[in-house]
Chains A and B, each alone.
Chain A
């Protein structure tokens, strides 16, 4: 059941993004920033965390989840260390995700090459 929820929620978020890409002139970079900022705002409003508990990876994996993670990280850091937390919190929260992405992509580049589009 959790798999189905994750699938449907994650898919719904991606479908909204696809609609934006197909029907607006928004560039992909702008759409990604919209997702992250939306997640951050919904996190700050206290909506995204309960949403993630219900939907699991379906809410955690899309970029909105990343926005929420940034919010949580910055909030914790401010609570613990005050003003400086604004600068520290985001990096601490996202460090694992970003590092993993870089490391795995690099390893993948050892085995795979660019392919032409057909």
Chain B
């Protein structure tokens, strides 16, 4: 890992990357999950699992806001802070105009930047949050994102009441919310400190895929582009990382990614991991293509990946959730699905 030249005014490195002079610490994180997620292989790792998909609210959208509010509060609490310690809140979701986020975090009274990165939102939020802290613009930042199966179906496909059949190749949007508290200072708790050493910001990559039932194929090229650029920018080999973690490429998308990278002589077959494959068990849970949605990468990261780093099983991971930047309108008008992947270097020391 190259050392950043501290005499240099800029912290840019390579074409799209940053190495931080004062890498922010992850001092708190939370995962609030729905019933299906709770029944999955990672279910026992989430902070809270809710059986009721409405969380006592009247609509799916309000429920998603409530998931997000809980994730935000829980992460702040676990960091040993209160709401007004947080300088900036960065949040996003899949719904039009980001209503889950806005309604979800309003009562926290924290200065707010709404973000849209589709399923890459956690990567985007961690990236921008880290820039704010390393740049001296904030001491504590909260990054949150959420998704809801029923809300996403209504937003992108058909409302559940319509009774539409979902093809086996469609991925299952994760219901839940994940939040991370970043700080310029280490927390007082025991165990290794976990820091974000740098980021590689994705470019929009479009290979012309139009099939919303095959999002993995649409997003794999973006993940490939970000990984390749990251390794070039920082002059690293893939085995520098214990795990290279994508968000929701699923089974098909993961295979495509490994093949695409091989064409550039980059081999990630031994350490690639995909949150969409980890979060559900396809056999028993009938989720054939895998999990998706902003919360897929978020709660897998906060529930599982951070735990591995804290317990010393992993030391360095590249976390790059991927997002497909289409909308129902763009799809219906015959457009392709442009995608993006935002990479964050997370290391335990």
Chain A residues within CB distance 8 Å of chain B = 21-22, 25, 28, 114-118
Given A25-B211, A25-B213: A114 and B150 within 8 A (CB)? Answer: yes
- CB pairs A–B below 8 angstroms (11 shown): A21-B165, A25-B211, A25-B213, A28-B165, A114-B160, A116-B35, A116-B53, A116-B54, A116-B149, A116-B150, A116-B175
Does A117 contact B150, Cβ atoms closer than 8 Å? yes
Chain A residues, CB < 8 A from B159: 114
Chain B residues, CB < 8 A from A116: 35, 53-54, 149-150, 160, 175
C-alpha spacing A118/B161, complex, angstroms = 14
Chain B residues within CB distance 8 Å of chain A = 35-36, 53-54, 60, 149-150, 153, 159-161, 164-165, 167, 175, 211, 213
Give B168's nearest chain A residue, CB to CB.
A22
C-alpha spacing A69/B161, complex, angstroms = 27
Chain B residues, CB < 8 A from A25: 211, 213
C-alpha spacing A22/B168, complex, angstroms = 9
Does A117 contact B165, Cβ atoms closer than 8 Å? no
Chain A residues, CB < 8 A from B36: 118
C-alpha spacing A116/B34, complex, angstroms = 11
Given A116-B53, A118-B35, A118-B36: A28 and B160 within 8 A (CB)? Answer: no
C-alpha spacing A22/B278, complex, angstroms = 26
C-alpha spacing A117/B158, complex, angstroms = 13
Given A114-B60, A116-B150, A118-B35: A21 and B167 within 8 A (CB)? Answer: yes
C-alpha spacing A117/B165, complex, angstroms = 11
17 additional contacts (CB under 8 A) given A116-B35, A117-B153: A21-B165, A21-B167, A22-B167, A25-B211, A25-B213, A114-B60, A114-B150, A114-B160, A115-B160, A116-B53, A116-B54, A116-B149, A116-B160, A117-B149, A117-B160, A118-B35, A118-B36
CB B282 to nearest CB in A, in angstroms, measures: 15
Chain B residues, CB < 8 A from A117: 149-150, 153, 160
Give B150's nearest chain A residue, CB to CB.
A116
C-alpha spacing A116/B150, complex, angstroms = 6
Does B150 contact A28, Cβ atoms closer than 8 Å? no
C-alpha spacing A25/B53, complex, angstroms = 31
Chain B residues, CB < 8 A from A21: 165, 167
Give A112's nearest chain B residue, CB to CB.
B161
CB B242 to nearest CB in A, in angstroms, measures: 34
Does A114 contact B161, Cβ atoms closer than 8 Å? yes
C-alpha spacing A28/B163, complex, angstroms = 11
Task: Give the interface centre of A25, A28, A115, A116 by most chain B CB atoms within 10 Å.
Answer: A116
CB B3 to nearest CB in A, in angstroms, measures: 50
C-alpha spacing A117/B53, complex, angstroms = 10
CB A14 to nearest CB in B, in angstroms, measures: 11
C-alpha spacing A28/B167, complex, angstroms = 10
CB A76 to nearest CB in B, in angstroms, measures: 32
Chain B residues, CB < 8 A from A114: 60, 150, 159-161
C-alpha spacing A21/B150, complex, angstroms = 22
Give A116's nearest chain B residue, CB to CB.
B53
C-alpha spacing A100/B213, complex, angstroms = 34
C-alpha spacing A84/B138, complex, angstroms = 70
Which 8 A-B residue pairings sit nearest by Cβ, starting from the closest? Answer: A116-B53, A114-B161, A114-B160, A116-B150, A28-B164, A117-B160, A21-B165, A118-B36
Chain B residues, CB < 8 A from A118: 35-36
CB A45 to nearest CB in B, in angstroms, measures: 30
C-alpha spacing A25/B211, complex, angstroms = 9
C-alpha spacing A118/B36, complex, angstroms = 7
CB A75 to nearest CB in B, in angstroms, measures: 32
Chain A residues, CB < 8 A from B161: 114
Give B166's nearest chain A residue, CB to CB.
A117
C-alpha spacing A116/B50, complex, angstroms = 13
Chain A residues, CB < 8 A from B160: 114-117
Give A21's nearest chain B residue, CB to CB.
B165
